[in-house]
Amino acid sequence: MAMTIATRKRLVTALLIGPSAAWLSLFLVLPFIAILVFSVGERAPEGGYQAAFTFAQFMNLPARATAFWNTMILAPVGAFFCLLVAYPTAYYLAIKAPARYRMLLVSLVVVPFWTSLLVRTYAWIFILGARGLPNLLALIGLPDVRLLNTPGAVLLGIVYGYLPLMIMPIYVSLEKLDCRLLEASADLGASPVRSFFNVTLPLSLPGVATGVALVTILLLGEYLIPQLLGGGKVFFIGNALVDLFLQSRNWPYGSAIAVTLVSVVVLIITLAMRLAWRFAGTRQVDLV
Amino acid sequence: MSKSYKDNLPITASALTDEFMRFKRGSVTRRHFLGVTGLGLAASVMSRGLPGAFNAEAFAGNLGTQMSLATWPNYHDPATFENFTKATGVAVEVNVFGSNEEMLAKLQAGGTGWDLFVPTNYTISTYAKLKLIDPLDMSKLSAFSAATESPRFTHEGTVDGVTYALPKNWGTTGMSINTAKVKTPISSWKQYFEVAMTEADGRAMVHDYQLTTIGSALVSLGYSFNSIKSDELAKAEELLIKLKPHLYGINSDYQPAMRSTDAWMTMCWTNDGAQLARDMPEIIYVLGKDGGEIWTDFYAIPKSAANKPAGYALLNYLMTPENAVKEHIANGAPTTDSRVLAMLPADVTSNKIVYPDEAALTPLEFGAAITLTDPNRAELMARFKAA
């Protein structure tokens, strides 16, 4: 009988994990192995890939240093600006919003996801283009202002596009906040500002960490927003990758960059999450 | 120009109307919006409701209900495809690309689903060598007339005596300049790059396309448009990287930016130059006195095409002079076929943007096959964009 139970347990585990494991092996592990193989190959004479064993592609990585650097700067900066906008919204939704409207307001945050990011980003082209905002600025005496195809436009698009992804985790962590803690803090003489920084903010850090990590990770692979709002001038590493596969047809070099990007991202995320969890985790234990 | 449906459009249409017109011309957003909004699917479903009424004898045989065309921005009269769909029941999905390299990359990667596409003269020998396109079965293309074609423009469609591609139209790569914004007269690529870094700082565009962007930079430095010499390419790269912070954008679909006046000047193909000048007379089209590109675009059928009968049917439809005339009037590109030329209205054939004087064409060069596959030009373009 004991054997049967153990077997059944293993079977249940296999059934639970099986689908996702199969999915990931097929669509993540196998393609990654293919990219690893490509990355040590050579560009075929007409473009594409031909088999070889060389690290020349990795030696050439500095030729994409600017795009890499742009990504490493703009991803965290974009996440930071997202956070600045998202936190007050999440705070309002979780703590200040009237209870009867709360679910309605929260679902409004999700509504933009019903339309493709592509379409919404395209809308910004019209708003930022010469016949949009610059046209209005010309009326108040600021002619020929250019907004589209600038780093500012890309940042705006990023904050706009990723805002819901930042709001939701912060909202969830603030919603769980025990309001009695704030009352206790006030009873003990803390000003509302001090209560916020000593009670509310630390307790919402897990949500902040999740939101920042989520947005940063997605931004590291961003392609669409810089392409549409940056005019091909504000270049992310994602754009460089697309170029290498779809224009210059240098698959091995593109693969080498992809492998490097994945390695760097995994490293950064591991470190960041470890730090965030340690920091937020201890605070939580102290307080609850 | 002639009486086309576009003539009645106000010059300063709202951005939305502008965008809608781009859809109708088959511009980049069409691909995006068709894919994203499911309009492509809707179109095919709607077309399925029609064929009973339009089952023409001429299109006997099973053409299916859908086919896919890969072409360039603002390059067709949308009515052409609507009429083709009415006649055959086949809905045409239009995909738009900004460079031949992008088309080649997709075909090399496989699974494009294109049944017909529009490669430029210098690419056809490579496509044939890589066996990515089919030799054409001329018996299915009765509307084509080799005798009335101008061999100067059409000879590259034939490789080793085998016809792989039929001509769509020829054209030039020049500059479109909004003279209301840029006062310095420009007549060469050398001046174009100078003004792009001074008077038109932040307002000039180059193509997202190695052939024309690198080629024009080479020409401005006094080298051949087709150079693959490493020292000349290095000089061109230096110029382009110096230029980059001054650019408005790197994009082959420049009409929206020119129409909204976000961009004041751009590297430009004949058909776009004609369309822009037609709607906004302050935008002039100039050929470089120091050189530039003259080209022919062709139609070819990918070996991997899923619906070859429909690909042939559309190609034959487009080769029919009555249909080709409408295409040429709408898109503003010059024809290679004397049958079509004879049918075009005088205001089209006298348009110097579309049919420039022979002297203006003399400094121009046809693209060379080697530039398509040269790894240094490919990497130079990618480095310039990533700089």
CA dist B374 and B360 (Å) reads 29
Q: What is the CATH number of the domain that holds A90?
A: 1.10.3720.10
Homologous superfamily (CATH) of B5-170+296-348 is Periplasmic binding protein-like II (3.40.190.10)
Cβ atoms of A162 and A218 closer than 8 Å: yes
**Do residue A129 and residue B248 have CB atoms under 8 angstroms apart?**
no
Beta bridge partners of B175: B267, B286
Select the residue from A117, A149, A257 to test the B interface by mutation, using most B Cβ atoms within 10 A.
A149
Predicted local distance difference test score (pLDDT) of residue A213: 87
Q: What is the DSSP string of B326-373?
A: HHHHHH----SBHHHHHHS-HHHHT-TTTS--HHHHTT-BPPPHHHHH
Those residues whose C-beta lies under 8 Å from the C-beta of residue B148, and which sit 6 or more positions away, are: B337, B338, B339
Q: Is the pLDDT of residue B11 over 50?
A: no
At A234, is the pLDDT very low, low, confident or very high (cuts 50, 70, 90)?
confident
The lowest-confidence range among A125-129, B31-35, B167-171, B279-283 is: B31-35
Domain residues for the domain of A218 are 16-112+161-287
> What is the rounded average pLDDT of the residues A235-264?
93
In a domain, A203, yes or no: yes
- Confirm whether B5-170+296-348 and B171-294+357-386 share one CATH topology: yes
| Residue A224 C-alpha, separation from nearest chain B C-alpha, in angstroms | 12
Q: Write the residue in A47, A126, A131 that is nearest to B104 by C-beta.
A: A47
Tokens of B144: 């084509």
- CA B335, B339, B345, B347 dihedral sign is positive
**Do residue B15 and residue A129 have CB atoms under 8 angstroms apart?**
yes
**Do residue A118 and residue B36 have CB atoms under 8 angstroms apart?**
yes
**Do residue A148 and residue B262 have CB atoms under 8 angstroms apart?**
yes
Indicate the number of domains in chain A: 1
CA dist A238 and A221 (Å) reads 5
Q: Which residues in chain B have Cβ-Cβ distances shorter than 8 Å to A46?
A: 104, 108, 126, 129-130, 373
**Do residue A47 and residue B373 have CB atoms under 8 angstroms apart?**
yes
Predicted local distance difference test score (pLDDT) of residue B31: 47
At B32, is the pLDDT very low, low, confident or very high (cuts 50, 70, 90)?
very low
Predicted local distance difference test score (pLDDT) of residue A235: 87
The architecture CATH gives domain B171-294+357-386 = 3-Layer(aba) Sandwich (3.40)
In a domain, A199, yes or no: yes
**Do residue A243 and residue B101 have CB atoms under 8 angstroms apart?**
no
Cβ atoms of B270 and B328 closer than 8 Å: no
**Do residue B385 and residue A239 have CB atoms under 8 angstroms apart?**
yes
Q: Is the pLDDT of residue A287 over 60?
A: no
| Residue B101 C-alpha, separation from nearest chain A C-alpha, in angstroms | 5
pLDDT, averaged across chain A: 89
In a domain, A257, yes or no: yes
pTM over 0.90: no
Q: Write the residue in B12, B14, B126 that is nearest to A46 by C-beta.
A: B126
Place of tokens 């022919």: B296
Give SS3 for B200: coil
- CA A68 to chain centroid, in Å, comes to 16
The lowest-confidence range among A130-139, B32-41, B112-121, B157-166 is: B32-41
In a domain, A107, yes or no: yes
Predicted local distance difference test score (pLDDT) of residue B61: 67
| pLDDT 10s digits, B200-209 | 999 999 999 9
| Cβ atoms < 10 Å from Cβ of B177 | 27
> What is the rounded average pLDDT of the residues B111-123?
95
Predicted local distance difference test score (pLDDT) of residue B51: 42
| pLDDT 10s digits, B72-91 | 999 999 999 999 999 999 99
Q: Is the pLDDT of residue B53 over 50?
A: no
At A142, is the pLDDT very low, low, confident or very high (cuts 50, 70, 90)?
confident
> What is the rounded average pLDDT of the residues B110-114?
91
At B353, is the pLDDT very low, low, confident or very high (cuts 50, 70, 90)?
very high
Predicted local distance difference test score (pLDDT) of residue A99: 87
User: In chain A, count of helices (H) and strands (E)?
Assistant: 14, 0
Predicted local distance difference test score (pLDDT) of residue B27: 56
The lowest-confidence range among A242-256, B39-53, B82-96 is: B39-53
pLDDT, averaged across chain B: 88
| Residue B15 C-alpha, separation from nearest chain A C-alpha, in angstroms | 6
Q: At what angle do helices A251-287 and A201-220 cross, to 10 degrees?
A: 170
| Residue B113 C-alpha, separation from nearest chain A C-alpha, in angstroms | 16
Q: Which is more confidently placed, B31 or A49?
A: A49
Q: Is the pLDDT of residue B48 over 50?
A: no
Predicted local distance difference test score (pLDDT) of residue B25: 59
> What is the rounded average pLDDT of the residues B235-246?
97
The lowest-confidence range among A232-246, B21-35, B113-127, B320-334 is: B21-35
Q: Is the pLDDT of residue A74 over 90?
A: no
Those residues whose C-beta lies under 8 Å from the C-beta of residue B86, and which sit 6 or more positions away, are: B50, B54
CA dist A242 and A239 (Å) reads 5
| Residue A246 C-alpha, separation from nearest chain B C-alpha, in angstroms | 5
DSSP A126: H
**Do residue B262 and residue A130 have CB atoms under 8 angstroms apart?**
yes
Q: Write the residue in A48, A129, A232 that is nearest to B250 by C-beta.
A: A232
> What is the rounded average pLDDT of the residues A217-237?
89
Domain extents for chain B?
5-170+296-348, 171-294+357-386
Predicted local distance difference test score (pLDDT) of residue B59: 55
Residue of B nearest to A234 (CA): B386
Q: Is the pLDDT of residue B286 over 60?
A: yes
Query: Measured between alpha carbons, how far is residue B208 from residues A7, B101, B148 in Å?
Result: 60, 10, 34
In a domain, A260, yes or no: yes
